[in-house]
Copies of this chain bind each other. A is one copy, B any other.
Amino acid sequence: MSKATIYDVAGAARVSLATVSRAINNPEKVKPETRERVLRVIEELGYKPNAFAKGLASRKSTTVAVLVPDMSRASIAEMMNGIADIARVYKYSILLYILDNEESTEEDVLKEIIAAQVDGILYLNDEITESQYAFLQTINAEHQIPIVLSNTLYPENDEIPSVSIDYDAAGYEMTKALIDEGRKNIFMVSTVRKYMVNDQKERGYLRAMQEAQLTPKIMRTSGRISINTEHFNEYFRNHNVDGIVAVRDSIAVSFINVARANHVKVPEDISVCGFQNTKYASLSRPNLTCVDVPIYDIGAVSMRVLTKMMNQEPVEDRTVMLDHDIVYRASTKQQKD
């Protein structure tokens, strides 16, 4: 019923199966006349090449693996949309691997990926460590399989290309904006776990504070709301805070809530800003000022870079930094346009 094979097409078009294959994959090598006849038969029969046979014979899968740490981070979903759109344009399928820290280690998953014979790997795990990077390099070298880091970067090394924004600069600008408002006691709220990307934000924050001769203070939270609330409450009792640069929107919103519960006014008494420009930023009251990360584009561009690598095209820029904006809203005093 749906099992038309290349033989059926060849028979119906009265050519050899080699010609059918060429008509599909190297149309220019087939006489237009024949090509059209073949294509028409393909259409009529609803023929779709068997992906396994094709993969086996050609040693190419037209499949890429997307490796993600945990889908539920808001940014990742939107990044997937960008990846999927570009993948579709270039006819790649997406094999999704979600890392859960439980049973299987990342190394196992990567072995699985290799066994699946993907043509390339998109690595969305933003908490990349030295040893993980080294492991990726090994894979890259041993299996000749292109890898791109999506929304992460590994500043010491660009052997594996990466696509993100300049988080260091963004952290700097965001902090500078609060300094320009006259804030003195600006805290960065970062995460306990060390993410490369948050590291960069911290660097930018530190630079801005040092330039302004202010004392930088970084507090680290888990991502969990309930814990944050207590943690932040304590801070209000014991610290003088008039500015917050949070590494994520949701953390910033948590902070706003705690501030207001402590009768501290946002933005009169304290300015709060975040990173990402998720829906949280628009749903919070006051609306959150934040760095607008073009997360869809990061996904799309990193997939595009990967397609180039899979085609052996040269990749001139191995550390792509997309532009970012700062969206000024009501959680800070300074409301530029």
- The residues of A with any CB-CB pair to B shorter than 8 Å are 1-2, 46, 48-53, 55-56, 61, 63, 66, 70-74, 76-78, 80-81, 84-85, 88, 93-98, 100, 103-104, 111-112, 114-117, 142-143, 225-226, 250, 253-254, 257, 260, 279-280, 282-285
Q: Which of B53, B74, B84, B85 has a CB less than 8 Å from the CB of A96?
A: B84
Q: Is the CB of A117 within 8 A of B76?
A: no
Q: Is the CB of A2 within 8 A of B66?
A: no
Considering only CB atoms, which chain B residue lies closest to A226 in the complex?
A: B282
Q: Is the CB of B96 within 8 A of A66?
A: yes
In this complex, which of A51, A52, A93, A282 has the most chain B Cβ atoms within 10 angstroms of its Cβ?
A52
Residues from chain B with a CB closer than 8 A to the CB of A279 are: 225, 250, 280
In this complex, which of A49, A104, A279 has the most chain B Cβ atoms within 10 angstroms of its Cβ?
A279
| A-B interface, 4 closest residue pairs, ranked by CB to CB distance from nearest | A48-B115, A52-B55, A84-B98, A52-B56
Q: Is the CB of B100 within 8 A of A84?
A: yes
Q: Is the CB of B103 within 8 A of A88?
A: yes
Task: Give how many copies assemble into the complex.
Answer: 2
Q: Is the CB of A50 within 8 A of B284?
A: no
Residues from chain B with a CB closer than 8 A to the CB of A97 are: 84, 94
Known: A2-B142, A81-B98. 10 other contacts (CB 8 A): A51-B52, A51-B55, A63-B95, A72-B81, A77-B77, A84-B96, A93-B95, A226-B282, A257-B285, A280-B280
In this complex, which of A61, A88, A104 has the most chain B Cβ atoms within 10 angstroms of its Cβ?
A88
Chain B min CB distance to A134 (Å):
17
Q: List 27 A-B contacts (CB under 8 A).
A: A2-B114, A48-B112, A50-B56, A50-B117, A51-B116, A52-B56, A52-B61, A52-B117, A56-B56, A71-B78, A71-B84, A72-B81, A76-B77, A77-B77, A81-B98, A84-B96, A84-B98, A88-B103, A94-B96, A94-B97, A225-B283, A254-B283, A257-B283, A280-B280, A280-B283, A283-B284, A285-B285
Q: Is the CB of A52 within 8 A of B52?
A: yes
Chain B min CB distance to A62 (Å):
10
Q: Is the CB of A253 within 8 A of B283?
A: yes
Residues from chain B with a CB closer than 8 A to the CB of A250 are: 279, 283
In this complex, which of A81, A97, A283 has the most chain B Cβ atoms within 10 angstroms of its Cβ?
A283
